[in-house]
Structure 1
Amino acid sequence: MDVTIITGKNKNLFHSLKSKYPSFNTILYTDKVYEYMQSSDILISKASGITVFEALYAEIPLYIINLFLLQEISNARYIAKR
């Protein structure tokens, strides 16, 4: 199994994951998110609006975790119904 984790601009998370899981492909911010999605079998993420839209556009399964904000809960409910 190949695992890619995109931590965005969170450098602390990047360094923590890079040291704990050296076999994972852990990267910081990238403008190639769509390319990573296209090569993925599943996306595991929170339900932010941009992430949900990109996953739907890329037509990959989305597993939602860490629902916290009201908007993320609404996004998760929307995609669950559809």
Structure 2
Amino acid sequence: MDTLTQEIRALRDKIEALQLKQDLPQLMTPAQCAEFLQRSEEVLYLWRKERTGPPYLHITSRTVLYDRDDVLEWARSHRVQ
């Protein structure tokens, strides 16, 4: 792959990342996070229980929030090449 193609792909990835950050709030509810990850809220609950999912903030006994950047980093860490 030539240098120009690599640069174009890198720019496209950066643009997509910026668009994603613009579309998602910094702190997401479980419903917003589930929609973003295309999973159910029940799956997010199980992941929290098993400590296998994305990091989350346990604000109160009834309030859980997900930091957008943490979720993106967690999702990228599961990329298979």
What TM-score bracket applies, with the shorter chain setting the length?
A: under 0.3
TM norm structure 2: 0.25
Structure with higher helix content: 2
TM norm structure 1: 0.25
Question: Relative contact order (C-alpha < 8 Å, sep 6+): which is higher?
Answer: 2
